[in-house]
Amino acid sequence: MSKISKLIIATGLSLAALSAHATDVYHQPRPILETKNGKLQGVETQGMVVYRNIPYAAPPVGDLRWRPPQPAQSWSGVRDASRFGEACVQFLVDGLNNELVPGSEDCLKLNVYAPKNAKNRPVMVWIHGGGLVEGSGSERYYIPTGLVAEDVVVVTIDYRIGRFGFFAPTELVEEAKKNNEPVGNYGVMDQIQALKWVRDNIATFGGDPNNVTIFGQSAGGRSVTWLMTSPASKGLFHKAIAQSPQQLPMRDVSKPRHGKPSVEESDTKFMASLGAKSLKDLRAMPTDQVALTTKQYFTGEFDGEMVDGQIIIGDSIPMFAEGKQHKVPFMVGTLSWDASFFIMGAPPVDAYIKKMGQDPKIVAKLYANYKWRCQLALSSQMMADGWYTGAVKLLADSANKYAPSYAYYYSFMTPTLKASFIGPAHTFELPYVFGDLATVPRAPAKAGKPADPCTEIDQAFKEVKANKWASIWFPVTAPNNREDISMKEQLTKSWTAFAKTGNPNYGKREIWPRYDLATDTMREFANGKQGVVKNLNKDRVDYQLQFIKALYQVK
């Protein structure tokens, strides 16, 4: 067990327990309101009025498995909205999503959090991350106490993930064409359906349907960029925030793309491997027989999102460059160690250099001063310089030509952990954004001896390969530390200011400028004084961007 793991476990907190669902016992008012589908009874808790497990679409089961989401069914009487529903079907990653497994196909639900007596308040719709294979809007660190305290309404959604959310064998493609329906990206279709529900119902909860901000992290951040470019989502939101949205190329439904076979080809092979002779057979199979497994995921047998021509019509970087995104205020950012996400699958340095067509001598010079010389850390950082930091700069610059756009860089670390981490890992900003620092493991009161991050990375890699989530990739906070509290306030206020006005600056200070590549100025959320960072890792990022632009044929 790593030193950091021991420090976190020593606090007595189980990662799974931290995501426990709402208690069944309430001693506060139980308000009732009426939506277009029926009456709901929620609960007042933590200074919020909360309604959970609200259907926004019909259960996608039986003949509706692998079909676009259908309208939610109405109900009679009063529906109990005090408890979360089941998460969508997902495989177990021990220490990460224990409380969500195995999930259910009947999962197209959302949760609404509102200030008391809210009326016509800005709305923020959260799209969770998890690589499109795990996660849920019900996870405890997504309870938005800090955001709601800033007088906004927050909606968290579940959408189909894994093979139920992203799937396109030949027979399904042919059926979709016959029905004149989109195919493949069912999870993104669910996100769009949830936004339609928000448009039609959120005023009842005190939200303004004409002021909706979508925000998401990781796969949720990528989803935000897809929704920004999808014709099917036009007019359903008015601002967008993409947190850590890596921009690796997508596969295509029906043709090879970027050297990878079509999704149709690989998913048809999977269908045959199950002995299913028809789509009807496949829809009749039990959930667990069809669901994506851990082994299939790690051996590359899951395609994830795909270019389908109707919902996702292209990779976001070239789409933004061509001005084909929705012209709404946009905010996008990355973390100083977002590279942690790539460690699980990053190729060796030499292999990545060869794949991208880079010059080994130039790479050696550019990364000569990069502190962490172990292979996994270095190759993942090279990828992050392009697919995270570089992508953030390209997206923000392109979007800013049409609407106010802002870029940020998050480098804050709880002080007692700074010596043990390369930087804040992928997801570390989440408890600060949502504003409750007690929903994740707590940092030790005192800093221990500095750990060797390369040793920690190697251990984490082994844990993930054994299907255990490495604790160094789980957010850690110090709820009573003044720096942590300040960072929480900075993020909740910035995010909600953007949702209210399209400008993330708040108070009397305008320290966060709109982004363009020429001035290359990003807001930096760091330890110490608030400020900005200019020309972030410019030489490294500019070099990596040369090859990304060439790949996407962007000037």
Write out pLDDT tens, residues 437-452.
999 999 998 887 777 7
Q: Is residue 218 very low, low, confident or very high in pLDDT (cuts 50, 70, 90)? A: very high
Tell me the pLDDT tens digit for each residue of 49-91.
999 999 999 999 999 999 999 999 999 999 999 999 999 999 9
Element (H, E) at 460: helix 453-465
Judged on CB neighbours under 10 Å (0-12, 13-18, 19+), 300 is exposed
The reported pLDDT for the residue numbered 540 is 98
The reported pLDDT for the residue numbered 12 is 35
Please say whether the beta carbons of 81 and 54 come within 8 A: yes
Q: Give 123's strand partners.
A: 153, 212
pLDDT at 10 over 70: no
Q: Is residue 229 very low, low, confident or very high in pLDDT (cuts 50, 70, 90)? A: very high
SS in 3 state form for 34-90? EECCEEEECEEECCEEEEEEEECECCCCHHHCCCCCCECCCCCCEEECCCCCCCECC
Rounded to whole angstroms, how far apart are CA atoms 340 and 422? 9
- Output the CA torsion 508→214→223→50 (10° steps): 120
Q: What is the mean pLDDT of residues 488-507?
A: 98
The reported pLDDT for the residue numbered 8 is 39
Cβ partners under 8 Å of residue 512, min gap 6: 406, 408, 494, 504, 505, 523, 532
Please say whether the beta carbons of 292 and 204 come within 8 A: no
Rounded to whole angstroms, how far apart are CA atoms 44 and 282? 43
Please say whether the beta carbons of 305 and 312 come within 8 A: yes
What does the domain layout of the chain look like in residue ranges? Answer: 3-552
Closest CA to 21 of 137, 124, 123: 137
Cβ partners under 8 Å of residue 135, min gap 6: 87, 90, 97, 100, 128, 129, 161, 219
For the record, the structure tokens of 197 come out as 């529900």
Instruction: Return the sign of the alpha-carbon dihedral for residues 57, 62, 64, 66.
Output: positive
Tell me the pLDDT tens digit for each residue of 453-484.
788 788 888 888 788 888 778 899 999 999 99
The reported pLDDT for the residue numbered 372 is 76
Specify the amino acid at residue 474. Answer: F
Please say whether the beta carbons of 74 and 37 come within 8 A: yes
The reported pLDDT for the residue numbered 458 is 83
Measured N-to-C along each axis, helices 263-273 and 170-179 cross at an angle, to the nearest 10 degrees, of 120
Length of the chain counted residue by residue: 555
Q: Is residue 414 very low, low, confident or very high in pLDDT (cuts 50, 70, 90)? A: very high
Measured N-to-C along each axis, helices 538-552 and 391-400 cross at an angle, to the nearest 10 degrees, of 70
The reported pLDDT for the residue numbered 249 is 96
Q: Give 522's strand partners.
A: 533
Rounded to whole angstroms, how far apart are CA atoms 374 and 458? 9
Rounded to whole angstroms, how far apart are CA atoms 325 and 338? 25
Q: What is the mean pLDDT of residues 184-192?
A: 98
Lowest mean pLDDT among 13-17, 133-137, 506-510: 13-17
The reported pLDDT for the residue numbered 3 is 38
The reported pLDDT for the residue numbered 4 is 41
Tell me the pLDDT tens digit for each residue of 316-367.
999 999 999 999 999 999 999 999 989 888 899 999 999 999 999 999 999 9
Lowest mean pLDDT among 11-15, 94-98, 404-408: 11-15
Q: Is residue 374 very low, low, confident or very high in pLDDT (cuts 50, 70, 90)? A: confident
Tell me the pLDDT tens digit for each residue of 17-47.
343 344 445 567 899 999 999 999 999 999 9
What does pTM read for this prediction? 0.95
Tell me the pLDDT tens digit for each residue of 135-186.
999 999 999 999 999 999 999 999 999 999 999 999 999 999 999 999 999 9
Helix (H/G/I), strand (E/B), else coil: 526: coil
**High-pLDDT (> 70) share of the chain, %:** 95
pLDDT at 526 over 50: yes
Average pLDDT across the chain, whole number: 92
The reported pLDDT for the residue numbered 2 is 41
Q: CA distances (Å), 107 to each of 183, 236, 274, 335, in order?
A: 19, 22, 24, 31
Fold of the CATH domain 3-552:
Rossmann fold (3.40.50)
The reported pLDDT for the residue numbered 371 is 80
Rounded to whole angstroms, how far apart are CA atoms 171 and 451? 53
pLDDT at 312 over 80: yes
Pairing between strand 43-45 and 48-55?
A: antiparallel
> Residues 260, 265, 266, CA angle at the centre, nearest 5°?
75
Lowest mean pLDDT among 7-11, 141-145, 311-315, 458-462: 7-11
Cβ partners under 8 Å of residue 499, min gap 6: 122, 123, 124, 152, 211, 213, 239
Place of tokens 């570089």: 390
Rounded to whole angstroms, how far apart are CA atoms 307 and 314? 6
The reported pLDDT for the residue numbered 27 is 65
Q: What is the mean pLDDT of residues 93-112?
A: 96
Rounded to whole angstroms, how far apart are CA atoms 195 and 232? 11
